[in-house]
Structure 1
Amino acid sequence: IEYKRGPDNNATDALSRLSEQLNTLSVLETDLWERISNEQASDDGLKLIRASITQNPGSIPHYTMRGNILQRKNRARP
């Protein structure tokens, strides 16, 4: 094993700093997805699309269900 100072060993230096950066990330837990799902379920227009996609995936172009969330072109439709 040969010792190299952090600045001289870029790969190790980068990895040693990774945990510092990860510690600065925060996780925000929210009920946003549940609220979107509930709003979609109560919207008359989206009810029809959701029912159609659930019964026959691919029946409406660009629309998919991801769990309980209706998506158009892979984006949630609030």
Structure 2
Amino acid sequence: MTVTRFLAEEAAHRELPMPPWMFGVIGLLAFAFLLGLTWSFRGTAQKYAPPTAHGAHGEQHTAPEGDTAHWPEHPGHH
């Protein structure tokens, strides 16, 4: 019985495909890549936010001729 159990444990033992610390390095690199991807979208919400009725300093903006407003509730903005 002991011999059979010993052989079964030996058959189930497998080596890792790389050193254990490499799994940590790969995980850190993956998170760094995802952080860079997220960081690349900074400011996107501001680009697509509806404009205010007046510009940032209170001046009224008018669209150039032939330009249509992106936001129907604020005609004349581009």
TM over 0.5: no
Which structure is larger by alpha-carbon Rg, 1 or 2?
A: 2
Give me the TM-score of the superposition, normalised by structure 2: 0.30
Q: Which has the higher strand share?
A: 1
Higher relative contact order, structure no. (Cα contacts within 8 Å, ≥ 6 residues apart): 1
